[in-house]
C-alpha cells in the first residue's frame, strides 16, 4: 500500500508486466512500419507518456522522429471533459505520418481531440498507440490502433501516471483502494 496526497493505492500491474505489454505493442507497430520509406513521427503526449514513449522508442526498428505535445483533461482523479492544449507541438507534422503515444485512454476525449488537431495541422495519417485502455469508459468510435493492455475503470498511478502530479516516478502501477 502507498499513500499519495489523501488517497491510498495498492499494487496493480508490475513493472515486468508493463514492459511485456510495451514489447507487444512495439512488435505490432514494427510489423506495420518496419519497411516504411518515410520517417514517421512518434508523438509523446506529455507528461504521463514519457516512460511509455521512452520504452517503446527503444524497441522501434525503423527511422522515426520524436516529437512532444502537452494536453490535459484531468483534474485530480476525474476527467473534466474539456481537453486543453497546454503546449504546442515541438515540430511541424505537415505531410508526416504520426504515431500518437498515450499512457492511457479513458473517455477518449484527449486522443480524439489530438487526432483532429494533427490532421488539421496537415499530418497525412495518425495512428493511436496507448499503453493502457479503459474500455468501459471509452465513448468514441475512433479506432485505437495499438493497445498494450485493457484495464477496468479504476483510477491508477505509476509509470508516468499521476494523481495531482505525484506518483509518476513509481516503477509499478497502483490502483486506488476504495
Distance of alpha carbon 168 from alpha carbon 157, whole angstroms: 7
The residue from 40, 109, 118, 173 that contacts ligand IMP (CB under 6 A) is 109
Cβ nearer to ligand IMP, comparing 10 with 34: 10
Of 117, 109, 102, nearest to 42 by C-alpha is 102
Query: Is residue 73 at the binding interface for ligand IMP, with CB under 6 A as the rule?
Result: yes
Q: How many residues bind ligand IMP (CB under 6 A)?
A: 18
**Is 43 an interacting residue with respect to ligand IMP (CB under 6 A)?**
no
Answer yes or no whether residue 168 interacts with ligand IMP by CB under 6 A.
no
Q: According to the binding rule CB under 6 A, does residue 174 interact with ligand IMP? A: no
Report phi then psi at 146, rounded to 5.
-135, 120
- Measured from the CB atom, the residue of 41 and 44 that comes closer to ligand IMP is 44
Edge-to-edge strand ranges of the sheet holding 97-105: 78-87, 65-75, 41-46, 97-105, 125-133, 146-150
Is 103 one of the binding residues for ligand IMP (CB under 6 A)?
yes
Among 40, 48, 51, 148, binds ligand IMP (CB under 6 A): 48
Residue 7 per-residue DSSP state: E
- 133 forms beta bridges with 105, 150
Closest CA to 110 of 49, 24, 22: 49
* 55 near ligand IMP, rule: CB under 6 A: no
Where do contacts with ligand IMP occur on this chain (CB under 6 A)?
48, 73-74, 79, 102-111, 155-157, 161
Amino acid at each position: 500500500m502507498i499513500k499519495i496526497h489523501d488517497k491510498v493505492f495498492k499494487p496493480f500491474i508490475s513493472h515486468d508486466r508493463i514492459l511485456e505489454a510495451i514489447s507487444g505493442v512495439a512488435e505490432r507497430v514494427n510489423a506495420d512500419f518496419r519497411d516504411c520509406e518515410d520517417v514517421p513521427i512518434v508523438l509523446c503526449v506529455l507528461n504521463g507518456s514519457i516512460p511509455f514513449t521512452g520504452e517503446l522508442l527503444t524497441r522501434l526498428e525503423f527511422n522515426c522522429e520524436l516529437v512532444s505535445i502537452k494536453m490535459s483533461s484531468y483534474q485530480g482523479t476525474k476527467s473534466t471533459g474539456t481537453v486543453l492544449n497546454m503546449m504546442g507541438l515541438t515540430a511541424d507534422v505537415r505531410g508526416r505520418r504520426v504515431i500518437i503515444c498515450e499512457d492511457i485512454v479513458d473517455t477518449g476525449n484527449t486522443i480524439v481531440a489530438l487526432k483532429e488537431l494533427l490532421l488539421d495541422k496537415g499530418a497525412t495519417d495518425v495512428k493511436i498507440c496507448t499503453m493502457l485502455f479503459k474500455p468501459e469508459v471509452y465513448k468514441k468510435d475512433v479506432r485505437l490502433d495499438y493497445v498494450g493492455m485493457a484495464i477496468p475503470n479504476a483510477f491508477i498511478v505509476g509509470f508516468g501516471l499521476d494523481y495531482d502530479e505525484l506518483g509518476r516516478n513509481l516503477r509499478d502501477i497502483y490502483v486506488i483502494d476504495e
